[in-house]
Amino acid sequence: MSKTLGFDTLQIHAGSKPDPATGARQVPIYQTTAYVFRDADHAAALFNLQEVGYIYSRLTNPTVSALAERVAALEGGAGAVCCSSGHAAQIMALFPLMQPGCNVIASTRLYGGTVQQFGNTIRKFGWSAKFVDFDDLAAVEAAVDENTRAIFCESIANPGGYITDIPAVAKLADKVGLPLIVDNTSATPYLCRPIELGATLVVHSTTKYLTGNGTVTGGCVVDSGKFDWSASGKFPSLSEPEPAYHGLNFHGALGGMAFTFHSIAIGLRDLGMTMNPQGAHYTLMGIETLSLRMDRHVANAQKVAAWLEKDPRVDYVTYAGLPSSPYYGRIKSVCPKGAGALFTFAVKGGYDACVKLVDSLELFSHVANLGDTRSLIIHSASTTHRQLSEEQQKAAGASPNVVRLSIGIEDADDLIADLDQALAKATA
C-alpha cells in the first residue's frame, strides 16, 4: 500500500506479517538462542553488517525485532532497539554517545529512579549529569559545556504529569549541536510524537502503557535517523572507526541507521541488556489496543483530577489537563490527544494523611508501577523517590505531602468513590 497508514492500523500491523513457515497470523514467540547460517559466507555477511539477519538472541530475535519495528513505526523513527527494561533503555541511549568525562543535561523533573541512575550510577562509567529546570531554557543552555553529549527530558514527567516544551528544548538542542533524548513512557506515541517535535532519540519503559497490563518489563530506544553524528567530532563511536567492531565507521557505512546498528552490534552484544521473546510477545499484544486504552486513561484522569481539585481535603492537583495547571497551554502543541493519566495531588494533613490514604483505598493498587489498566497509587517520597534529597524530591514533584496516581480504565465514578472514602479516613 502506498498510503501512509494511520496510528490505529500501525499499532496492529507494523512489524507483523504471517509467519512464512506456518502462516501463523500472530507474531510467534521465537524461543531460541541461536540461528543456523546458510554457509560460511552468510555468517560472515551477518557479522560484517552487510546483510540483515539473526545471529544470536542476545543481539536480535524475530519476536523482539517485530516489537522494535512496531514501536519505531508508531514513533515515526528510522529504527529501534528493544532491551530488558526502561532503565536499560536509558543506558543504551547514552552508550554510543558518551565517553569518560562526558556529561548529559537532564531535567530536574524526572522519575526518581532516573535521577538516581544519572546522579550516581553513571558516574561509575565516568559519565555525569547536570540537573536543570527545563522551564528555564537559558539555564539549560548555560549548563552545556564542551563535554556535554546529550540533553534528556520526559515528555510527561513522572510523577507530577508536567509537560515539557519539547519544541523549545529541541530548538535549543539544535542550536548547540546536541541530540535530544525524550523519555516518552508516560505519554506514549499516541499522545506525544517527540521525533516530529524535534527529538533525536526516544526512550520507553515498555513495561508501562505499551504493554498496559503489568505483566513484563522491557525498554526500547527509537532513533529518528536524522542527527548528523559526524558533524562535530563529539561522537567518535558513531563517526570514526570503532575499535569495538573491527574499525567500522557506523555513520559512514550505515547513515541514518548508524545508532540503531551500533546499539545492537555493540550495545546489546557487550552490555547484554536483552529483552526476552516472551516479554516482547506480551508487549506486542498490548500495543494492539494502545489507542483505545489511552483514550480511556485520559478521559478518566480528566474526570478524577477535576473532582480532586474541587475537594476541600486536597491542597492542589498537578494534572496538566486542568485549566489551572501552568502546563495546560502546552497540551495542544505537545500532547494534542490529552495530558496523559499520571499526576499527583497533595493531601491536607501532610505525610501522615498520605499514608492513611494509601492504606484506606480499595480499588487503587498500592504498587511501584504506572501505566496499568488498573488504577495505581504510591507515595513517591517514601518509595520511588526515597533516595533523593528533600530538595530533589520537591524539584521532581514528589514532596512528602503528595501521592502519585496512575489512573486506569475502570469506571471513573468508582475511582472517585474509592478516593472519597479513603480521603474521609485520611483527614478525619
**What are the extents of the domains in the chain?**
14-286, 290-426
Q: What's the residue count for the chain?
A: 428
> CA torsion angle for 76, 82, 86, 87 (degrees, to 10)?
-120
DSSP 427: T
User: What pLDDT sits at residue 385?
Assistant: 60
Instruction: Please confirm whether the linkage preceding 277 is cis (ω < 30° from 0).
Output: no
Pairing between β-strand 365-366 and β-strand 376-378 as defined by DSSP bridges: parallel
> CA torsion angle for 107, 109, 110, 116 (degrees, to 10)?
80
Domains 14-286 and 290-426 share a fold: no
The three grid cell numbers given for residue 177, joined into one nine-digit string: 549541536
Digits of tens for pLDDT over the chain (428 positions)?
Answer: 446 899 999 999 999 988 888 899 999 999 999 999 999 999 999 999 999 999 999 999 999 999 999 999 999 999 999 999 999 999 999 999 999 999 999 999 999 889 999 999 999 999 999 999 999 999 999 999 999 999 999 999 998 899 999 999 999 999 999 999 999 999 999 999 999 999 999 999 999 999 999 999 999 999 999 999 999 999 999 999 999 999 999 999 999 999 999 999 999 999 999 999 999 999 999 999 999 999 999 999 999 999 999 999 999 999 999 999 999 999 999 999 999 999 999 999 888 899 999 999 999 999 999 999 999 999 877 766 666 667 776 766 667 889 999 999 999 999 999 999 999 999 98
CATH architecture of 290-426: Alpha-Beta Complex (3.90)
Give the whole-angstrom CA distance, residue 377 versus residue 407. 9
User: What pLDDT sits at residue 2?
Assistant: 47
Q: What are the C-alpha distances in Å from 256 to residues 77, 182, 223, 252?
A: 10, 18, 8, 9
The three grid cell numbers given for residue 222, joined into one nine-digit string: 527509537
User: What pLDDT sits at residue 1?
Assistant: 47
Farthest CA pair distance, the chain:
75
User: What pLDDT sits at residue 303?
Assistant: 98
In 3D space, the residue among 226, 220, 221, 218 whose CA is nearest the CA of residue 198 turns out to be: 226
Computed from CA positions of residues 94, 100, 104, 109, in that sequence, does the dihedral angle turn out positive or negative?
positive
CATH architecture of 14-286: 3-Layer(aba) Sandwich (3.40)
